[in-house]
Structures are given as structure tokens and as C-alpha cells.
Structure 1
């Protein structure tokens, strides 16, 4: 099996970093993809890079999968996983993914597979839009 390209997209790296904040999260590399798992057992996100510098991610969204499927670049995850609410998002190298929404979905995905006691003890991360650059006055 050939190795997958490394994750280069800035937002893909940010999503990976956000996933690692969750308690008991470990990173694994099944089938050459990035998988974040709770306690090393249940995956809550799969990520991969594309040859052109884009990335994809699959999240388990049991409550908002229909909402998520309306987003550009979203489709039901293959291998029968869509039946459990999994949605795959694919973004090109110059895409500007809706990061606030993706991180919110990441939280739903983690809570869908995390032990209930662990989930209840962890407050959702605060998600804010990136600050807009300040406008400069003409001189």
C-alpha cells in the first residue's frame, strides 16, 4: 500500500489540532489515513490529504448529518458508515472550509463515541471566527 500524502492544508492541520484537545484522544493511522480515537478504541474523525494539497475529513454526526450534507463538499461516508450518521467533507487546496461549523461537528462526533461520563465532564471548546484584519486608514 502506498503512503498517503502528508496533511498540508492549514485548516486541515487546525482541525487535527482541535481533535487532539479532547480528553483520552489518541491518533492512529489505519489504512494510511489519520484517525482520532477515544481511548484508542472508537474513531470520531478520519482525515486524509489529497495530492493537490486539499484534505478530507469524515465525522460521525448522528444528530445533524442531514444539516451537514447540505454543505458544499459534503457527502455520505462510504463503506456503509453513512447509516450511522457519518459525513465526509472534501476541500480543495484553496478552499476555505467553514471551520467554526466543522469544529462544532467535531464536538458532536467526539461526544457520539466517547463514554458518557467522560463526555459529561468535558465542556465543549469555545469556537470563534478568526478576527478580521483591521482596516487601515488612507494616508
Structure 2
């Protein structure tokens, strides 16, 4: 599957979560809930197949960082649990990526919205 296709599926999944919406701060596509970012999707570059995404993880943080396609996020965000995932041949299946998006959503969304996922 092409990186752009994987990114598109992750983006669609994120925006389908309760009260999630897309924003473009700093020229970068993000998904937010309650004005808080829960997934960074990078810049829309139609001719560029180098895609990735960034999520905040707690439970699966160490497991995610054990994969070759991940790294702690820069700008000090890695210390707060944010993980950047490069989309490519080493990326886990889309289902794993969307589980990470869900985990990130639950960490930043109000409890009333997180409960809607149960």
C-alpha cells in the first residue's frame, strides 16, 4: 500500500472519532478534539511519498518505540509520550496505526468523549 494511501486511511479514521476535526496550524495537517491535537499528519505534499504521523502514547509507548519506523518526537514532545511514525515498508498494519490514533485521542479528549468509544 502506498504511503499516501496509509496516511489517508489514518486521517479519515482520526476525523471519524467523536467531535474530531482537522486543523492546519503551522501549515501542518492535524486532527484535534476539544482544541487539542491528538495526531499530527504532516504537510500535504501530493508529489511526496514520504509520509508519517505523530501520536501521544502511554500504554503502547515502549512497544511502538521498539519498531524501526518510530522515534521519540522532537521539540521535547518525546518526553511527554509523543511518538513519530514514518510510513513505509516497516510500518505496522493500518489497524495498529489506528489503535495508536485511538490511544492518543483517549489521552487528550475529554472523558465524556472517550467513553463514547467503549
TM-score under structure 2 length normalisation: 0.87
Quick check: 1:62–1:84 contact (8 Å CA) kept in 2?
Answer: no
Quick check: 2:68–2:90 contact (8 Å CA) kept in 1?
Answer: no
Q: Which residue does 1:106 correspond to in 2?
A: 101
Corresponding residue to 2:56 among 57, 60, 70: 60
Q: Which residue does 2:80 correspond to in 1?
A: 84
Instruction: Indicate the structure with greater helix content.
Output: 2
Corresponding residue to 2:91 among 78, 89, 97: 97
For structure 2, the residue ranges without an aligned partner over 5 or more in a row are none
Q: How many correspondences in the alignment? A: 113
Quick check: 2:32–2:38 contact (8 Å CA) kept in 1?
Answer: yes
Distance 1:91 1:114 in 2: 25
Rg larger in structure: 1
Runs of 4+ in 1 over 2 A off after TM superposition: 49-52
Q: Which residue does 2:38 correspond to in 1?
A: 44
TM-score under structure 1 length normalisation: 0.75
> What is the CA distance between 1:48 and its match in structure 2?
1.6
